A and B are shown apart, each in its own frame.
Chain A
């Protein structure tokens, strides 16, 4: 499972702290270095890691001890706080407030957009919603058939035209098509793109403008490394990002790139992809996630003191 290693490493760093007799500057620095290593091995952006660990170290060395709390406990608290700050807080879901709710999915080539859309469509269908899908990928051969075949077993309709070259037109027409059909949710798929493809980034902005989605979902490959931060930033600058789906967490993915994308966009992770099948989608709960990451079973009692 992704981030398992990060969890293990963080946990052992904190245990080291709990074991040492005196907590002096040297010990604090060592623990901070361990945390730094753990985050970097998990693909969290190097600059973010430096910022984060600098903050932890500074607070650990400078903050006054609250009464009744040992220095060790205090440091564990700081680490916990800084990490939850970094990883996001409450579990959030994609809200379906209006009928129809329009969602637009964007992301880098091959990140898993089309697969994730099929997963989302099925997820909402299971909860009683009527869903329509729009393919605006005029770039990748077979994109329309891919989406269609993914949802065929569930009788979910896909709007698209493999011959059409104008993605913005497809988006506009697809959304009005499903509006007339009175569906509850419209999810729009888009071609993969990255920050250096300025024309495609502009196209994405125009699609978003044309259909005015309730939420733009950024799909991030769980195996992405240092590029995650800058790429996510470029997407956010073109169109506001409302949520993140992290995919491919069933392999050796470290997931840290997705965390960088959270920081870059300010958008929460709402779902994770854990396989290729349409059922392989899980809602994301940051609190549960952080607990697991820190092996909070061990230090839960301690945290209750605060």
Chain B
């Protein structure tokens, strides 16, 4: 008898003690977070979308009186950011390579000028060798001055062979030769170094399409510069449209970059980040971890 009454009383108190999260509550809390994300180089477009998402999720939701609404909004933002940062599908590159029955496993590296493709290839060659895999590099940047000498010296230092032609040669032919070489010698992995290009340059984008069309790489990796701002969205989109991007390496995170580019790229093309570059040494390649990235973006590390 008495228990029933108490129950009723409790539910009544619960109802009265509830309040709704208003648009104003959300806006207030989002205001500062918005600046923080922008300062971390999250592209404007992405910040706007995050805001909309948080609003539609939270406005009107009922919470107990006395709840810290600000905290609720912050948590929601963090969760939304983590969602974008968390790859839909994780690629374990070593397993992928090992599980391919017919050698070699071919990886093409593409990206904007100076983003760090060639250096990343040297780092990855080093990483793969440490995992007991054999590697050959295709010097398919036959365009930029010094590109062949650069990749050759890197390869020498990490102890892998380079297949090269001369400057001006067809990059696709170089890659093709490298794949043949790998087949003949039973080499596990071919890394194709392509020239940097501007995403609005039609001819260069077509040339890249051809490399990918002919060599049919198992993985196309987009190398992006973590120091880039809003432009990275357009870069990632255009490259993804031209040749489907399977994975991303984000470089130069040692330069105090907050890493918003990770969020922008994730938003733009959804391809998983596989590694991050954290320096110019061969060991400065780290496996991607979304929690680490999240902390970096919110300036907590």
Q: Which residues of A contact B (CB under 8 A)?
A: 37, 40-43, 46-47, 50, 108-112, 114, 118, 139-150, 194-197, 221-227, 230-231, 248, 250-254, 256-257, 275-276
Which one of B53-61, B109-117, B127-135, B172-180 is at the interface? B109-117
Smallest Cβ distance from B212 to chain A, in angstroms?
20
Which positions 144-163 of chain B face chain A at CB distance < 8 Å?
A: 144-154, 157
Q: Are B149 and A142 in contact (CB under 8 A)?
A: yes
Can you name 25 A-B residue pairings with CB atoms under 8 Å? A43-B230, A46-B35, A46-B39, A110-B252, A112-B113, A118-B145, A142-B146, A142-B147, A143-B150, A145-B145, A145-B150, A146-B144, A146-B146, A149-B145, A194-B252, A196-B255, A221-B228, A223-B235, A224-B228, A227-B41, A227-B258, A230-B256, A251-B231, A257-B229, A275-B198
Give Cα A230 to B39, complex, Å.
Answer: 12
Q: Are B200 and A224 in contact (CB under 8 A)?
A: no
Q: Collect the chain B residues with CB atoms within 8 Å of residue A222's CB.
A: 231
Give Cα A145 to B153, complex, Å.
Answer: 12
Q: Nearest residue in A to B257 (C-beta to C-beta)?
A: A227
Given contacts A139-B280, A222-B231, 15 further A-B contacts (CB under 8 A): A47-B39, A112-B114, A142-B147, A142-B149, A142-B151, A146-B150, A150-B145, A223-B232, A225-B228, A226-B39, A226-B40, A226-B229, A227-B258, A231-B256, A251-B235
Q: Are A146 and B145 in contact (CB under 8 A)?
A: yes
Which 9 pairs, one residue from A and one from B, show the smallest C-beta to C-beta distance? A225-B229, A146-B146, A110-B114, A142-B150, A141-B153, A43-B229, A142-B149, A252-B234, A251-B198
Smallest Cβ distance from A272 to chain B, in angstroms?
14
Give Cα A194 to B151, complex, Å.
Answer: 22
Smallest Cβ distance from B25 to chain A, in angstroms?
21
Give Cα A230 to B227, complex, Å.
Answer: 12
Q: Nearest residue in B to A274 (C-beta to C-beta)?
A: B198
Q: Which residues of B contact A (CB under 8 A)?
A: 35, 38-41, 44, 112-116, 144-154, 157, 167, 198-201, 225, 227-232, 234-235, 238, 252, 254-258, 260-261, 280
Smallest Cβ distance from B242 to chain A, in angstroms?
14
Q: Are A252 and B38 in contact (CB under 8 A)?
A: no
Give Cα A251 to B204, complex, Å.
Answer: 12
Q: Collect the chain A residues with CB atoms within 8 Å of residue B256's CB.
A: 194-196, 227, 230-231
Residue from the set A144, A147, A223 with the largest chain B CB neighbour count within 10 Å: A223
Q: Are A40 and B44 in contact (CB under 8 A)?
A: yes
Indicate which residue in B39, B112, B147 contacts A223 across the interface (CB closer than 8 Å).
Answer: B112
Smallest Cβ distance from A129 to chain B, in angstroms?
22
Q: Collect the chain B residues with CB atoms within 8 Å of residue A194's CB.
A: 252, 254-256
Give Cα A112 to B114, complex, Å.
Answer: 8
